[in-house]
Structure 1
Amino acid sequence: MPAAFAPFRHPAFRMLWWANLAANIGLWVQNTGAGWMMTSLDPSPVMVSLVQAASMLPVFLLALPAGALADIIDRRVYLIGAQAWVLSMAALLAVLTWAGVLGPWGLLVLTFCIGMGNALNFPAWAATTPELVPREDLVQAIALNGIGFNLSRAVGPAIGGFAIAMAGTEAAFALNAVCFLVLLLALVFWKREAPRSALPPEHFLGAMRAGLRFVAASPAMRATILRACVFFFFTAAVWGMLPLVVRGRLGLGPEAYGIMLGVMGVGAVATGFAMPALRTRLPTRSAMVTAFSLVSAAALALLGVSGHWLPAAVSMLLFGAGWLGAASTLQAAAQFATPAWVRARAIGIYQLCFFGAMTLGAVLWGWAGASLGIQPALLAAAGAAVACAILVRGWPLDSQPATEAPAVPMPRPEAPDESLRDALAGDSGRVLEVVRYTVDPADREAFLAAMREARRVRLRSGALAWRLLEDVAHPERWIELWAVESWTEHLREAGRLDAADRAVLARAAGFQSGDAAPEAARYLAVLP
């Protein structure tokens, strides 16, 4: 099997990929039908634009909550629930349209409800991909997901237009419901082995806070989000100004606009199939994103100077290639940077950031096009995209291989006293964890460097706060303190540490003088 199709070797990925393709086609059919219907219910530009806003607003409202729910609920059950919600809302939309009782605000409300289901689905679906394929196939699996999305964007509106012409907008809405039924059935037949834990599920608000703390303490996730925001902010100029280029500069109609979007899809699909070969020439994810960012910037510049449809079409072909290559590589970097316990939450935050950057970019570059002119705005976006792509290339997206942990005695606190076991059950209140070190003063700087890494490990694994204190009378004595929300959260910490985290903590413990391990203790908060 060619490398581009390697993820299809895995039956679960293959089944869900085809089902998700059907659902994405249904989504574009739904968007086409909703936009067209609004032109007859209330043809004002504001109401028509609100249809798109109603479908996208839930992403901003629900990205983090959706990620938290996807991490604390069985992911298969959660996805089935999200698809069932979309299916029910799509069916209700079709029935009300067929009955002729749906008004413009009712259309917006149901469009928003369908958008809610899709927003709930996004982080969970992205976090599911690593469960379907082995690590070596993950990047290409994400690229194939991008190919599927671009295929659906190419054929979905056409299918929607055909359905509307043949049987009315209610047929388009009913077709959307059928497409989501396909995905729902595929999820029902998916035999997922859910991870088992002796601990109770995380609380909803606590899970969201843990996700935020993880991202804040993860250099790899921060780099991925930064580079995604930079890429999507500048490339959003295409979405804000392509209609103006087609109508104003090229003097063409809506058919040409659709063709330009189709050409972009061709570039994206071709790049998705070429990704395995491209990775042999650009072996790091950082280099891939930089290269594709420069390709996208070149597309922006070419679109800006185009006065004929042919160079404009070439620019959209290049833009589709750059968009798919950078987006899929960034998505893979986010996947590799997150462990399973927090993956959906972290990806939800990632999606929230890049959707925000893309939306802000489309608005600002559209305003720049209206104020400065289309050509100057596109050329400015291209130049700024090149400069920023070069500036941020030093933020690495490739995780460093875990070094072997030194064989040193690790701190192990005493077991809780029997008299306090009941107090530790459930929501016990905050727990303060303490590790005391005795370090040769000559190793002070090296110890501090190791503890900076230890701080990030503690915060990523659930610490609310962390401190390192030095004894002013005995500079060889140090105390590491960190607090967690409850005894249950303390017990979760060990399960959240991977091999790289344990190696970091072992290097810190290795500075302990003598043969004994650093002394560890745990304290339960009693009075506020």
Structure 2
Amino acid sequence: MPLPGALAPLRHPVFRNLWIAGLAANTGLWVQNTGAAWLMTSLAPSPVMVSLVQASSMLPVFLLALPAGAIADILDRRRTLIAAQLWMACMGLLVALLTFSGELGAWGLLAITFGIGAGTAAIFPAMAATTPELVPREDLVQAIALNGIGFNLARATGPAVGGFTIALAGVEASFVLATIGFFVMVGALLLWRREVPARSLPPEHLWPAMRSGIFFVVASPGLRAAILRACAFFFFTAAVWGLLPLLVRVRLGLGPDAFGLMLTAMGAGAVAGGFLLPTLAGQATRGTLVFRFSLLAAASLLLLGAWPHWLPAGLGMVGFGFAWIGASSALQAAAQLASPAWVRARAIGIYQLSFFGALALGSALWGMLGEWIGIAYALVLAAILGTVTAVLVRPWRLEPPRASEAPASALPLPDAPAAELAGLLGEDSGRVLEVVHYTVAAADRVRFLAVMGEMRRMRIRSGARVWRLYEDIAHPERFAELWTVENWTEHLREAGRLDAADRATLARAAAFHNGDGAPEATRYLNLQP
């Protein structure tokens, strides 16, 4: 019997095992977050300090997402995930011991929360880049949605478990429970026998890998649009994370069990949204879905801020959870599909750096604003500004443009390196200059230049550090395309980084060449550092 919608990826055993273990680990993470937020209301009960709990858990992702993504692309992702999960378990044990002993202060709590956030910073890009390895492409979007469902199932159960655990056994017990969840994920990762892809070239070094990831994102319009719209959504919705503990305790006058139930209501809305997402995705584009979910999130913020009663607040949290899972799944799917395998963890790391940065900044700023003008006014203002911003960023498209059919053209192919220079070619070589010469009819000049704009983005995405197009002053029908890469090994990596759309762009450019055969391609080695 086929599984419905978002559950279809569970038929793949490794994905299923890691998903179940991830549910336990994420539940533990939400239990820990609930305990930390509630403990801070006793250690330092001010809106700024309480909001800094959320900010300190998200800030490491902002700081470490890019190097973590580069490491996940360079090293074995399974080992990276095991190391990060063990680190989080050690931090969980530490905060439990310090709380038991009564030695934990407000700033110590923030420091350990930051440490746990550092573990999540390493896990997020590695796990996101691993998902396409675990399911076929046709199940990828559903797998992303299912990961969101799992995360929000944890959000639905974790805060409630955390709240009741705090009420029954104290906040230190919640930290112990969270640590157990972290160790469950360690066990599942140890059981996973990942086939490490064979490498024909040596792995990249950390700094060049980070730089390649940045250049790729800069030259990828679809990924830039996903990042912009994610920042616009998460900055304003961060008001909930920064202000919810005080909203429950001060404005609603309720206790830790109610705080857990509010987060459970949000998780329930997110789970419902995750199950409905495949149906909704078939009725509208990703960009349209993100816009609609942004409006729903703004309406939920308005409910939270406008009425000081648990019922509208609970309804607002359900709507907020629905909007959160819908927008975050659509945005992450757009980022995933815009990122090829060789750079996926880095690209997702930069995407996560951006939206977690927006969350961390928004959580802190909305907390400060809540202290200045009041919790209710801050939430209402976030709703209004979030709506305006959603309208402003809507023109940035999340769907890739429809690729035009590539003509049958001979592609430029450089001559093989001379034998006497073979010893100079490798990671330690100087920069490599690559040149392609075109002869283009005057009537085709405008269209050729438009295609060369696509070529520039393609070359930068695949590793070029400098790209230029020159026109012969004496013979304006002649053009020279030049670009440089860091060394010979990076040049060899270029071919493996080109996808079908990139090769179609190469063919369209070559089709404008009026000379005999393909455009002439040459390579030059810089002999002076």
CA distance in 2, matches of 1:369, 1:33: 22
CA distance in 2, matches of 1:239, 1:500: 40
CA 1:287/1:461 → structure 2, altered by over 3 Å: closer, same or farther? same
Q: Which residue number corresponds to residue 135 of structure 2?
A: 133
CA distance in 2, matches of 1:244, 1:192: 44
Aligned AA for 1:450?
V
> Which deviations, in whole Å up to 9, do the C-alpha atoms of 1:257-276 show, x marking residues without a partner?
43332222211111111112
CA 1:483/1:447 → structure 2, altered by over 3 Å: closer, same or farther? same
Map 1:380-419 to 2 at 5 A: 380-419=381-420
1:434 is paired with a residue of what secondary structure?
A: strand
Is the CA contact 1:151–1:265 (under 8 Å) kept in the aligned structure 2? yes
Q: Which moved more, 1:172-181 or 1:291-300?
A: 172-181
CA 1:285/1:188 → structure 2, altered by over 3 Å: closer, same or farther? same
Answering whether residue 321 of structure 2 is matched by residue 320 of structure 1, we say yes
CA displacement at 1:507 relative to structure 2: 0.4
CA displacement at 1:123 relative to structure 2: 0.8
Is the CA contact 1:236–1:361 (under 8 Å) kept in the aligned structure 2? yes
CA distance in 2, matches of 1:107, 1:361: 20
CA distance in 2, matches of 1:140, 1:157: 25
CA 1:34/1:254 → structure 2, altered by over 3 Å: closer, same or farther? closer
Answering whether residue 182 of structure 2 is matched by residue 180 of structure 1, we say yes
1:466 is paired with a residue of what secondary structure?
A: strand
Aligned AA for 1:201?
P
1:272 is paired with a residue of what secondary structure?
A: helix
Q: Which residue number corresponds to residue 351 of structure 1?
A: 352
Answering whether residue 526 of structure 2 is matched by residue 494 of structure 1, we say no
CA distance in 1, matches of 2:166, 2:495: 56
CA displacement at 1:82 relative to structure 2: 1.8
Q: Which residue number corresponds to residue 525 of structure 1?
A: 526
Is the CA contact 2:159–2:264 (under 8 Å) kept in the aligned structure 1? no
Q: Which residue number corresponds to residue 268 of structure 1?
A: 270
Is the CA contact 1:402–1:499 (under 8 Å) kept in the aligned structure 2? no
CA displacement at 1:68 relative to structure 2: 0.3
CA 1:366/1:78 → structure 2, altered by over 3 Å: closer, same or farther? closer
> Which deviations, in whole Å up to 9, do the C-alpha atoms of 1:115-135 show, x marking residues without a partner?
322211111111111222222
Aligned AA for 1:452?
G
Aligned AA for 1:210?
S
Answering whether residue 437 of structure 2 is matched by residue 441 of structure 1, we say no
Q: Which residue number corresponds to residue 21 of structure 1?
A: 23
Q: Which moved more, 1:368-377 or 1:294-303?
A: 368-377
CA distance in 1, matches of 2:166, 2:442: 77
CA displacement at 1:79 relative to structure 2: 1.3
CA 1:95/1:364 → structure 2, altered by over 3 Å: closer, same or farther? closer
Q: Which residue number corresponds to residue 467 of structure 2?
A: 466
Answering whether residue 77 of structure 2 is matched by residue 75 of structure 1, we say yes
CA 1:52/1:136 → structure 2, altered by over 3 Å: closer, same or farther? same
Aligned AA for 1:125?
M
Map 1:188-207 to 2 at 5 A: 188-207=190-209
Aligned AA for 1:117?
G
CA 1:271/1:207 → structure 2, altered by over 3 Å: closer, same or farther? same
Answering whether residue 372 of structure 2 is matched by residue 335 of structure 1, we say no
Percent identity (aligned): 65
Aligned AA for 1:509?
A
2:194 is paired with a residue of what secondary structure?
A: coil
CA distance in 1, matches of 2:69, 2:345: 4
CA distance in 2, matches of 1:249, 1:110: 28
Q: Which residue number corresponds to residue 427 of structure 1?
A: 428
5+ long unaligned stretches in structure 2: none
CA 1:87/1:484 → structure 2, altered by over 3 Å: closer, same or farther? same
Is the CA contact 1:403–1:500 (under 8 Å) kept in the aligned structure 2? no
Aligned AA for 2:60?
P
CA distance in 2, matches of 1:410, 1:21: 49
Is the CA contact 2:27–2:154 (under 8 Å) kept in the aligned structure 1? yes
1:57 is paired with a residue of what secondary structure?
A: helix
1:481 is paired with a residue of what secondary structure?
A: strand
2:524 is paired with a residue of what secondary structure?
A: strand
Q: Which moved more, 1:414-423 or 1:74-83?
A: 74-83
CA distance in 2, matches of 1:170, 1:304: 31
Map 1:175-254 to 2 at 5 A: 175-243=177-245, 245-246=247-248, 250-254=252-256
CA distance in 1, matches of 2:158, 2:516: 67
Q: Which moved more, 1:300-309 or 1:162-171?
A: 162-171
CA distance in 1, matches of 2:377, 2:97: 48
Q: Which residue number corresponds to residue 57 of structure 2?
A: 55
Is the CA contact 1:130–1:138 (under 8 Å) kept in the aligned structure 2? yes
The normalised TM-score by structure 1 is 0.92
CA displacement at 1:338 relative to structure 2: 0.3
CA distance in 2, matches of 1:494, 1:133: 25
2:144 is paired with a residue of what secondary structure?
A: helix
